[in-house]
Amino acid sequence: MNTASSDNPSVRLTGMADGLRVVLDPKQPIDFLQSELNRLFKPLGHLAINTRVLLDYGEAEEWEGAEEMTAALEGFLKESFGVGTVVRPPKKRREVEEILRHRDMDRSWQNHRSDVLMLTGRVRSGQKVTARKHLLILGDVNPGGEVVAGGDILVIGTLSGTAAAGQPDREDAIVLSLDFRPTQVQIGTIVAAGLPSSPTKQTEYAYVEDNTIVVEDYLEADPFGRLPWPEVR
Q: How many other C-beta atoms are found inside a 10 Å radius of the C-beta of residue 19?
A: 18
The kind and range of the H/E element at 215 are strand 212-217
Bridge partners of 180, per DSSP, are 159
Does residue 126 touch another protein according to CB under 8 A? yes
Query: Where does this chain touch another protein (CB under 8 A) — which range of 62-70, 80-88, 120-128, 164-172?
Result: 120-128
Site string for another protein, 155-194 (x = CB under 8 A): -----x----------------------------------
CA distance 98 to 79: 37
Does residue 122 touch another protein according to CB under 8 A? yes
Residue nearer to another protein on the CB measure, 41 or 180? 180
Please, what is the angle between helix 30-41 and helix 66-81, to 10°? 30
Query: Where does this chain touch another protein (CB under 8 A) — which range of 3-11, 143-151, 188-196, 221-229?
Result: 143-151
For the bound state, the minimum distance from the C-beta of residue 142 to another protein, rounded and expressed in Å, comes to 5
Query: Where does this chain touch another protein (CB under 8 A) — which range of 4-12, 16-24, 80-88, 141-149?
Result: 141-149
Nearest-5° Cα angle at 24, 18 to 26: 140
Does residue 142 touch another protein according to CB under 8 A? yes
Exactly one of 140, 146, 152, 204 binds another protein (CB under 8 A); that residue is 140
In the sheet where 52-56 sits, what is the strand order? 11-16, 19-24, 52-56, 85-87
**Do residues 13 and 21 make contact, with C-beta atoms less than 8 angstroms apart?**
yes
For the bound state, the minimum distance from the C-beta of residue 138 to another protein, rounded and expressed in Å, comes to 13
Does residue 127 touch another protein according to CB under 8 A? yes
For the bound state, the minimum distance from the C-beta of residue 158 to another protein, rounded and expressed in Å, comes to 8
Residue nearer to another protein on the CB measure, 10 or 183? 183
DSSP string, 110-163: TTPPP--EEEES-B-TT-EEEESS-EEEES-B-TT-EEEESS-EEEEEEE-SEE
Residue nearer to another protein on the CB measure, 89 or 143? 143
Does residue 124 touch another protein according to CB under 8 A? yes
Exactly one of 120, 125, 189, 198 binds another protein (CB under 8 A); that residue is 125
Compute CA distances 17 → 52, 56, 90, 141, 231, whole Å. 10, 16, 16, 61, 34
**Do residues 21 and 37 make contact, with C-beta atoms less than 8 angstroms apart?**
no
Which residues sit at the interface with another protein, rule CB under 8 A?
A: 122, 124-127, 140, 142-145, 160
